[in-house]
Amino acid sequence: MPVCHGSTPLVLCPLLLSLSVMASESECAADESPHLHLHPHGTEPLPHIAVDYCPEACHHAPASGEIHVTYDHRGGARWRSRRRFLPGGAVAASIRAPAGDTAGLNYNIYLSSLEGSRDMDEIDFEFLGHDKYAVQTNFHVAGGGGREQIHRLSFDSSDGFHHYGIAWSAEAIEWRIDGELIRREECLAGEPWPEKPMFLYASVWDASHINEGKWTGTYHGRDAPYICSYKNVRVPLALSVEEEEDPCQCATAGDAAAAIAAAAAAAVEEVDAGAAKDYILAL
């Protein structure tokens, strides 16, 4: 299994310089304290998105680059990039988690070769609604996960925007929050490794039935509607792969149940494989 180096300072290989700071600006979170806004090297703003289900619950404002996903009585929504990206670059976004009692909800940003495919590769950040001071990282190869780690946050993820980035190459994967390296995995000889081109995805969904509510808590909905906001979404357009056809034609509310069921099934398999490992890494 790949070795996690936690937050130990590391010398980055050239392909993983993608998360170096190329430009920065100050922005204020809800508590008015400034934090650094990072633009990973080799990335550009995401120009267009596709919505896989419940498009009425996803608002994209291309002029400002903001995307808002609402979870309420209609359920949630899932958006993605229109193209897959090859290894060797980075993706990043500033995210503000939904406010209020979000127990039961899963909100996220992740790379996946194709959501719901049994042989998908995936690299993710997942927020587990019962704890606003934690985030889970994981990666999957050919449908197999079980590499979860829970990272404690020094802030409430719903108080303001914070920056989340993933750099991925044939040699290593890095996860960063507000520019700080929180996890690094290296490819070891003979070990499985994500290598398929991947879309950038994000969604909000009710995961409270998974592992009897132990993963994300139990959904109450007392503070609905819940809005997860994304901005400054950046992707490595130079490494994008043109799609011959849209791989997911389910942009209607009627297809939401099937899409969510597929995500839930994958999460259940993850839990059965040991997804509830409690690795706690202080930032």
Distances (CA, A) of 256 to 76, 82, 203, 267: 8, 19, 11, 16
- DSSP string spanning 3-52? PB-TT---PPPGGGGGGSEEEEEEEE-TT--EEEEEEETT-EE---EEEE
Residues in the chain: 283
Active site positions, annotated: 122, 126
* End-to-end Cα spacing for the chain: 23
Q: Could you give the 3-state DSSP secondary structure of residue 103?
A: coil
Dist CA 184 CA 207 (whole Å):
27
CB 22 within 8 A of CB 40: yes
Other C-beta atoms lying within 10 Å of the C-beta of residue 180: 12
Dist CA 243 CA 245 (whole Å):
5
Over the range 103-133, which residues count as b (16 or more CB within 10 Å of their CB) and which as e? bbbbbbbbbbbbbbbeebbbbbbbbbbbbbe
Q: What are phi and psi of 261, to 5 degrees?
A: -60, -40
147 CB-near residues (< 8 Å, 6+ apart): 1, 2, 138, 139, 140, 185
